[in-house]
Amino acid sequence: PAALPPAPLGFTDVNLNSRNTYEVSRRRSAPEHLPHGGTAPAEPASPPQEPAERARHRVGIAGAGSSFAEFFTRNFFTKKTKELKPAVQSAPGWKLFGKVPPRENLPKDSKIIQQEYEARTGRMYKPPPPSARRKNIEFEPLSTTALILEDRPANLPAKSVEEALRHRQEYDEMVAEAKKREIKEAHKRKKIMRERFKQEENIASAMVIWVNEILPNWEGMRATRRVRELWWQGLPPSVRGKVWSLAVGNELNITPELYEIFLSRAKERWKSFSETSSENDTEDAGASVADREASLELIKLDISRTFPSLYIFQKGGPYHDLLHSVLGAYTCYRPDVGYVQGMSFIAAVLILNLEEADAFIAFANLLNKPCQLAFFRVDHSMMLKYFAAFEVFFEENLPKLFLHFKSYSLTPDIYLIDWIFTLYSKSLPLDLACRVWDVFCRDGEEFLFRTGLGILRLYEDILLQMDFIHIAQFLTKLPEDITSEKLFSCIAAIQMQNSNKKWAQVFASLMKDNKEGDKNHSPAPKS
């Protein structure tokens, strides 16, 4: 689910009037190939004497772009095309089947060339009628079939024989190379598919075990070695929410009815809030009311900035109101904590895996854990204890990197705050974050810090080469291609033992240390 591309989000800011639709859809489906998408289609139909390099570049375009993105852009833009009259003028000389709207002044001989090409390669390509093409969203032109050698337009002097021959040869080479690449990619795809099938089989068999054996005997089995090992492998998505709920527990004894009560209270507040703020700025309101209202306002601002690439939490998206409800109810349930940035990500992940009331129950109980409470109350001195404990294990596990960071005074608050506040849901791909949550539910807060060390271990070699700003940039925006196999093998290699002391013991002794000299704990300045 995390792999959804942001493509459908982009279309609102594309100025359709100023660009032809072909260009827009091409830009959207292969943005990495066309950083300056505005120039290419505006060129006059270029004869094939353009440098081979450039042409190859365009070959790439045809095959690139995920089918998902294409689905959206095509469906969206085909609809739009009808409404927008502006002429679709020139198209590039290298034509891409199925994507290029008919050119207005097509050179007369291009059809002939196409026929020649088809005859030569022995394959007949009949473009499907436009309506069928629109429905068939899986149609993906292959670069070898999508590239056509065209002659110069009739209004330009014809090529010399040698030149034509040379271009023909260059063209053949390009096609051959593209074909080779396609075959290689097909093999790669096949391999990935095989792995995915295997993975799916594993998930399916694990699901049976979870549903039939473990969940019915939860309390008796949850701590057994077998279950713990299966748990480490990652929970099947279908039981994930259930296991999270059970593991987080409901110490607070929240019922769905209680959730409804707090939700309706939140809704009342929103109503009165929008009424008062429309009259005038509430200057006379008490500070606490203003605070709470501010916190409701913040929720509104943050919801659409939660997993924006998934689209579902944006205004008008299917989960927008749900996220609003869960967060609003929480601020009424725990006014002492209120809304704190980062919460929206946690609530969102829960909403993706649980029913509304269950998501709220898990959310409230999760935030009631000591580590989460310390962070979300922004209890700075407690946070520093967590960072200190983290550094003990950092030094133990990755001494070289620890010193490297130290030499730049690069402290954990630079990167850990984001990781801990959002439980990695913002910094890791969503499916991987869910796997981290799985084991976090099994092992508790310790696993959050172990995951952090796992990330540092995974990228240790790269990080050792970097200076302060590059490390900081890297860790606050991790590579998107991080895989769960690699990360989890690095996490597994992290020892949460420091001279026979475990995480909890290290943390407890740090707490004791600072009890004596605890005076620089000043309360947060209030406005």
The answer to whether the beta carbons of residues 303 and 324 sit under 8 Å apart is: yes
Q: Which of 210, 307, 424, 503 binds other proteins (CB under 8 A)?
A: 307
Q: Compute the distance between CA of residue 461 and CA of residue 517 in angstroms, rounded to an integer.
A: 38
Residue appearing with tokens 């954990």: 412
The site map against other proteins for 190-229 (x = CB under 8 A) is: ----------------------------------------
Which of residues 139 and 474 has its CB atom nearest to other proteins in the complex? 474
Mark the segment that binds other proteins (CB under 8 A) among 121-129, 176-184, 245-253, 341-349.
341-349
Please tell me the total number of residues recorded for the chain in this structure. Answer: 527
* Nearest-approach distance from CB 376 to other proteins, in angstroms: 9
Q: Is 373 among the residues that bind other proteins (CB under 8 A)?
A: no
Cβ distance to other proteins smaller for residue 52 or 388: 388
- Two tokens at 88? 């679709």
Scan residues 468-527 and list those touching other proteins (CB under 8 A): 469-470, 472-473, 476-477, 522, 524-525, 527
Question: Which residue, 472 or 482, is less far from other proteins as judged by CB?
Answer: 472
Q: Determine, following the binding rule CB under 8 A, whether residue 298 of this chain makes contact with other proteins.
A: yes
Rank residues 218 and 468 by Cβ distance to other proteins and give the closer one. Answer: 468
Q: Does 285 bind other proteins (CB under 8 A)?
A: no
Structure-derived torsion over alpha carbons of residues 451, 452, 455, 456, reported in degrees to the nearest 10: -140
454 touches other proteins by CB under 8 A: no
To other proteins, the closest distance from the beta carbon of 374 in angstroms equals: 11
For the CA atoms of 83, 88, 92, 98, the dihedral, rounded to the nearest 10 degrees, stands at 40
Helix (H, G, I), strand (E, B) or coil at 498: strand
- Our finding on whether 288 is near other proteins (CB under 8 A) is no
Taking the complex as a whole, the smallest distance from the CB of residue 387 to other proteins amounts, in Å, to 11
Contacting residue, 23, 70, 151, 302, with other proteins by CB under 8 A: 302
The C-alpha torsion from 334 through 340 and 342 to 344, rounded to 10°, is 60
First to last CA, the chain: 41
Nearer to other proteins, 123 or 470 (CB): 470
| C-beta closer to other proteins: residue 147 or 453 | 453
- With CB under 8 A as the contact rule, the residue among 79, 120, 226, 305 that binds other proteins is 305
Shortest distance in whole angstroms from residue 186 CB to other proteins: 33
User: Considering CB under 8 A, how many residues would be counted as binding other proteins?
Assistant: 44
Tokens 């959804």 correspond to what residue?
4
Least separation in angstroms between CB 71 and other proteins = 19
What residues are paired with 502 via a beta bridge? 497
Determine which helix (DSSP H) or strand (DSSP E) holds 501, and give its type and residue range: strand 501-502
Instruction: Indicate the residue among 169 and 282 with the shorter CB distance to other proteins.
Output: 282
Q: Cα torsion for 280, 283, 284, 289, to the nearest 10°?
A: 100
Cβ–Cβ under 8 Å, residues 330 and 360: yes
Please list, in sequence order, all residues whose beta carbon lies within 8 angstroms of the beta carbon of residue 456, skipping any fewer than 6 positions away. Answer: 394, 398, 401, 463
Contact 331, 292 (CB under 8 A): yes
CA distance 12 to 118: 40
Site map (CB under 8 A) of other proteins, residues 80-119, x = contact:
----------------------------------------
Residue span binding other proteins (CB under 8 A) among the ranges 133-141, 377-385, 392-400, 430-438: 377-385
**Looking at beta carbons only, is 7 or 392 nearer to other proteins?**
7
Q: Given CA atoms 208, 431, 356, 291 in this order, what sign does their dihedral have?
A: positive
Given a contact cutoff of 8 angstroms between Cβ atoms, the answer to whether 29 and 64 are in contact is yes
**Contacts (CB under 8 A) with other proteins, residues 2-41:** 6, 9-10, 12-13
Which of 495, 507, 452, 494 has its CA nearest to residue 475? 452
19's tokens? 């660009």
Three-class secondary structure of residue 476 per DSSP: helix
3-state secondary structure of 497: strand
Candidates 33, 380, 442, 501; binder of other proteins (CB under 8 A) is 380
Binding mask 164-183 for other proteins (x = CB under 8 A): --------------------
**CB count in 10 Å sphere of residue 74:** 21
- Region 411-450 residues binding other proteins, contact defined as CB under 8 A: 411, 413-415, 417-418, 421-422, 426
> What is the contact surface with other proteins in residues (CB under 8 A)?
6, 9-10, 12-13, 281, 298, 301-302, 304-309, 314, 338, 340-342, 344-345, 378, 380, 383, 411, 413-415, 417-418, 421-422, 426, 469-470, 472-473, 476-477, 522, 524-525, 527
